Amino acid sequence: APSPNPTTSSPTENPTSSPTSAPTPPAPTKAPSSSPSQRPSSRPSTSPTSAPSTPVPTKSPSVHPTQSPSFRPSASPTPVPSSTPSSPPTDVNECLVANGGCDSLTTCTNIPNGRICGDCPSGYTGSGEAGCTDENECTEGTNSCHINAFCKNTPGGYTCTCNAGYSGNGVTCTDNNECSDGTHTCD
């Protein structure tokens, strides 16, 4: 029988053996031993066909990287949150001092990081921020006094008083009949 060509041999045949020899069985596998000298090598193969490998650095488990004098962080460290939550900043109540800068006739309302001034009351013009000014209803003609009444301006309002010879509440004034009520000064 002709001898087989070593380049066409099957993977189970040994190309250097004679045609009469039996195929070489695979080597039995052994369980790793705990002895360091019998452990399989973890070094990369040094055959010319394999690519060179870079050794992987190892860290000593007993030394933390931040304890090593050669340790250099690549980025700034992340702050560790406190175990107790920080309390929110305390709001200052601006309204407690001088009505918060609002006009004394208005209401100061405290809000986070500030305050709000209320509107000026009826009878005043302006704003709680800029200040309230009394409105003179008597000179501005915004009063409801009777034509036969006297208007007197007051802070935030006015009063009406019926003129002499008239009676009423100042908003309504009726002519008095001095002849019939005996209050006349006639002879």
Per-residue pLDDT at 13: 44
Reported as type and span, the H/E element at residue 125 is: strand 124-127
Question: Residue with structure tokens 């009949």?
Answer: 177
Residue among 59, 51, 155 nearest 103 (CA): 155
Burial class (CB within 10 angstroms; exposed 0-12, middle 13-18, buried 19+) of 102: buried
Cβ neighbours around 116 below 10 Å, total? 16
- The whole-angstrom separation of Cα 125 and Cα 67 is 72
Would you call 37 helix, strand, or coil by DSSP? helix
pLDDT value of residue 76 = 53
What residue ranges of the chain have pLDDT lower than 70? 1-88, 184, 187
In the block, residue with structure tokens 């305390």 = 90
Average pLDDT of the chain is: 73
The 3-state DSSP composition of the chain as helix, strand, coil percent (nearest 5) reads 15, 20, 70
pTM attached to this predicted model: 0.46
The pLDDT assigned to 94 comes to 93
DSSP per residue, 78-106: PPPPPSSPPPPPPPP-GGGTGGGGS-TTS
pLDDT of residue 90: 84
What pLDDT is recorded for position 185? 74
Give the dihedral sign, CA 99/101/103/104: positive
